[in-house]
Amino acid sequence: MLAELAAANAAFAVIKTAVQNTGDLTKVVHKIAEYSGAKQAIERQAREDKSAGKSGSDLESFMALEEIKKQEIHLKELVIWARRPGLWDDWVKFQAQARVQRQQEEAEREAWTTELHDNVGMRRSP
């Protein structure tokens, strides 16, 4: 989780600096994608830790998620002030659609892997 938080912090720092200096988010789109990926990894790890009952990771997960929440609030303010009205709402919708797409792709990969293992397991050796 520390690696993901470090990646999110680094990407956020680049985004913040770029927007403050230029007011242009388009120059840091790749960093926004990195930030979103790291955020999702942290959220996923926190869910896995919670479901596994890892009590030692609770505080670490909570603090990482709190850091991400603070960054999200700051990122929202940057987007609102740097770009057109409604861009933040569009960004949230885009993130939701991308998340659904990634979940579908993951489900398809899982189904393909399961089918492959089932088919290979059914073959008889000569």
Q: Is the pLDDT of residue 92 over 70?
A: yes
Average the pLDDT over 76-94 and give the result: 78
The chain-wide mean pLDDT, for the chain, equals 81
What whole-number distance in Å separates Cα of residue 3 and Cα of residue 14? 17
Query: pLDDT grade, residue 10 (50/70/90)?
Result: very high
Pick the most confident of 14-28, 35-49, 75-89, 112-126: 35-49
* Distant-in-sequence contacts of 120-125, Cβ < 8 A, 24+ apart: none
Same domain for 110 and 73, yes or no, is no
What whole-number distance in Å separates Cα of residue 88 and Cα of residue 76? 6
Same domain for 110 and 69, yes or no, is no
Same domain for 116 and 75, yes or no, is no
What whole-number distance in Å separates Cα of residue 64 and Cα of residue 62? 5
> Cβ(65)–Cβ(43) under 8 Å?
yes
Q: Is the pLDDT of residue 84 over 80?
A: no
| pLDDT of 70 | 93
| pLDDT of 83 | 67
Average the pLDDT over 85-110 and give the result: 82
> Cβ(99)–Cβ(41) under 8 Å?
no
As given in the structure block, the two tokens for residue 110 are 């899982």
Query: pLDDT grade, residue 108 (50/70/90)?
Result: very high
What whole-number distance in Å separates Cα of residue 25 and Cα of residue 97? 20
Total count of domains within the chain = 2
Average the pLDDT over 74-96 and give the result: 78
Average the pLDDT over 88-96 and give the result: 79
Q: Which domain holds residue 114?
A: 85-126
Average the pLDDT over 86-102 and give the result: 79
Same domain for 71 and 123, yes or no, is no
